[in-house]
Structure 1
């Protein structure tokens, strides 16, 4: 069995828009769930479905710690983090999901 991978991710409604931070062990599936809006949630209510940032971890404890830390950050820090890695706030989902 391969090593489990965990992701902390940030979704945005648009450039500089509403942000959502989450953690998952299946980034493609989880973002697809957000995009499909099948579950009534914060992301569905505010149309937050653009994957603008993610980090990869080898264990759930560190991923959850990082998620909690990012959630406590002020908005300016989160925006700076996204801008450093994804200056145009492009949706990264098509690049990780492959051909649909």
Structure 2
């Protein structure tokens, strides 16, 4: 949608295609398509299993981890680092003419 309106790809453009490349065991092409794909694919596998584990064993480790991660991300220098990584990925997408 962003690309249709602005003519520029969004930072996450190509993530779905990167995951598809991962499923075809083409890691390098996936990484080149969009590095977020590997991160998203990992989260799509790990998080549901983790939540299922917590439900099965009546634990709240995922919930606790989420809140700790949220507080860490709110740290100014980490937030700046993450935003910088997203901007770099966005520039990468624009340069590739994704």
Length-normalised TM-score, structure 2: 0.25
Give the greater-gyration-radius structure (CA): 2
Structure (1/2) with the larger helix percentage:
2
